[in-house]
Amino acid sequence: MAWKSRTRSLQVFDTELSADTVEWCPISSRHKFLVCGTYQLQKGKGEDGGAPSRTGRLYLFEHRHKGLTSPPLTELQRIDTAAILDLKWCHVPVSGMVVLGLAAATGELQLYTLSESQEGSSNLQALNSVELGGDQLALSLDWSTGRLDSSDVRVVCSDSAGRVSVLSLDEGALTTLSQWKAHDFEAWISAFSYWDTQLVYSGGDDCKLKGWDLRISPSSPTFVCKRHSMGVCSIHSNPHREHILATGSYDETVLLWDGRNMRQPFSESMLGGGVWRLKWHPTQEHLLLAACMHNDFHILHCQQTMESNKGACPVVASYILHNSLAYGADWSRLSLEEPAPLSPPASEPKEHFTDGDGHLRIQYESPTASFDTSLEDDCGQYIPEGITPPSTSSNACHTVTPNDDASSMSFLLATCSFYDHMLHLWRWDLAPAETQVETNVC
């Protein structure tokens, strides 16, 4: 069965400072909360210029179901901080607390808790922080709890000095367990294997992907891979499929790996634009979200690739409305109860023709006066910007199969971009082509 894919803008928020990371809360009773982190480089003042400073701001939003005519995100709080490089919620409560980790330009790992007052208002409160040491930036963090295991809560961080640190969290107290030099230059990313949390992966500006076993001395990696031709900046362990690892790089590729054989990836997908962040969907094991810096945000469908252990993953949806570096991206776990909004009626077709074989359509005007577009081929398949439209032969439309027997599926996502300092809330609707609820004007 062919499935029709549509992305639609719901809300745009100006973060004022350059936005680089967004995260939806993964804890079931707090799925409606979203955080966004910003990073701003302030040039020094005076004749000699002075030392630049890096400032940031942490935003807390709440998603509220207010119908189709009101922006769904409400800002609850903003906290001025050091510049923020990464944010991650712990996937499970820690001593009853909902905990957010922040990688700061001061070289600190900072922790916040999400608290609710008796009046029902929610806010973030500082819990704890630890310096990773030296004069460097904390660049990334990941929790060991990706499969919702709360028995041993740890966090791994990487920094601009090329080091990786592993810390434990017990009742709000952070303890550094180990720290080592992992890369020659910036260690852009570090991540746990969610299936064996004694295994840690790291990627750096030295173009190397490395593995580490915390049960033995971290001075010697379990493997060193140079398959990426430029800096490795994204790693995410699939929480649903054991041994599956996704990595992204400035070389514009997404590689899928079997953790039992790290000599060669089993899949390579060229996306265009450096792949800064990768996120597996929290419930759909085959869906992978990619933030591609100079080439927008894309959703890859990896089912056939993972089953056959070969081939590239097709892009089944893209979001192209950001006007700057695509950095932060995350899936929401909220269910979308209302149907997809219909396109506004028009007396004339709202259609523009591109230089290729696709059609660029304005689909939905949002409450913020932004609009969404999709480039489609004659089969209704999405054509990512900058990619040549496929031919309309019998194989032109891929079959996209959800993980269950649902008649249609809808997903809520948040993304942010850097120099235009924008946070976007959008939805992706996936439905059988013959049951698409919209009337398309051709």
For all residues of the chain together, what is the average pLDDT? 85
Does 383 score more than 70 pLDDT? Answer: no
Q: Which residues contact 22 (CB under 8 A, 6 or more apart)?
A: 34, 35, 36, 37, 87, 328, 329, 330, 414, 415, 416, 423
The pLDDT value given to residue 390: 31
The pLDDT value given to residue 45: 65
**Percentage with pLDDT > 70 across the chain:** 79
Q: What's the farthest any 2 CA atoms get from each other in the chain?
A: 69
Does 397 score more than 60 pLDDT? Answer: no
8, two tokens: 């639609």
The pLDDT value given to residue 355: 36
CATH number at residue 364: 2.130.10.10
Whole-number Å distance between alpha carbons of 376 and 395: 15
Contact 428, 6 (CB under 8 A): yes
**pLDDT (average), residues 38-56:** 81
Identify whether 19 is part of a domain.
yes
154, two tokens: 């740890």
Q: Which ranges of 261-323 does DSSP label H, i.e. alpha helix? A: 303-308
Q: How many CA atoms lie within 13 A of 407 on its CB side?
A: 5
- Report which DSSP code applies to 94: B
**Percentage with pLDDT > 90 across the chain:** 71
**pLDDT (average), residues 413-429:** 97
Whole-number Å distance between alpha carbons of 19 and 21: 6
The pLDDT value given to residue 118: 74
37-44 long-range Cβ contacts below 8 angstroms, 24+ apart: 37/84, 37/85, 37/86, 37/87, 37/102, 37/328, 38/83, 38/84, 38/421, 39/83, 39/84, 39/85, 39/105, 39/418, 40/83, 41/83
**pLDDT (average), residues 161-181:** 95
Contact 268, 255 (CB under 8 A): yes
**pLDDT (average), residues 202-211:** 98
Identify whether 399 is part of a domain.
yes
**pLDDT tier at 368 (50, 70, 90 boundaries)?**
very low
The pLDDT value given to residue 65: 80
The pLDDT value given to residue 362: 30
- Report which DSSP code applies to 382: B
β-pair type (371-376, 409-417) = unpaired
Identify whether 440 is part of a domain.
no
Identify whether 195 is part of a domain.
yes
Contact 166, 178 (CB under 8 A): yes
Identify whether 401 is part of a domain.
yes
Contact 363, 371 (CB under 8 A): yes
Does 344 score more than 50 pLDDT? Answer: no
What secondary structure does DSSP assign to 297-312, as a single string? Answer: EEEEE-HHHHHHT-SP
**pLDDT (average), residues 171-182:** 94
SS3 content of the chain, % helix, strand, coil (to 5): 5, 50, 50
Whole-number Å distance between alpha carbons of 173 and 57: 24
Identify whether 359 is part of a domain.
yes
What are the φ/ψ torsions at residue 250 (nearest 5 degrees)?
Answer: -60, -15
Does 399 score more than 60 pLDDT? Answer: no
Identify whether 441 is part of a domain.
no
112-133: per-residue pLDDT in tens? 999 987 778 999 999 999 999 8
**pLDDT tier at 298 (50, 70, 90 boundaries)?**
very high
The pLDDT value given to residue 416: 98
Contact 31, 334 (CB under 8 A): yes
Please tell me whether residue 380 adopts helix, strand or coil conformation.
Answer: coil
The amino acid at 308:
S
**pLDDT (average), residues 29-33:** 96
What are the φ/ψ torsions at residue 51 (nearest 5 degrees)?
Answer: -80, 135
Identify whether 442 is part of a domain.
no
**pLDDT (average), residues 421-440:** 76
Number of folded domains that form the chain: 1
The CB density around residue 59, as the number of other CB atoms within 10 Å, is 25
Q: Which residue range(s) make up the domain with 306? A: 3-435
Q: Which residues contact 189 (CB under 8 A, 6 or more apart)?
A: 139, 140, 158, 202, 203, 232, 233, 234, 235
The pLDDT value given to residue 352: 31
Contact 155, 169 (CB under 8 A): yes
Of 3-7, 65-69, 147-151, 396-400, the one with minimum mean pLDDT is 396-400
The pLDDT value given to residue 375: 41
- Report which DSSP code applies to 161: T
The pLDDT value given to residue 381: 42
Q: Which residues contact 211 (CB under 8 A, 6 or more apart)?
A: 199, 200, 201, 221, 222, 223, 262
Of 37-51, 137-151, 248-262, the one with minimum mean pLDDT is 37-51
Higher pLDDT, 347 or 419: 419
Q: Residue 407: which of 427, 436, 439, 428 has the closest Cα?
A: 436
Please tell me whether residue 135 adopts helix, strand or coil conformation.
Answer: coil
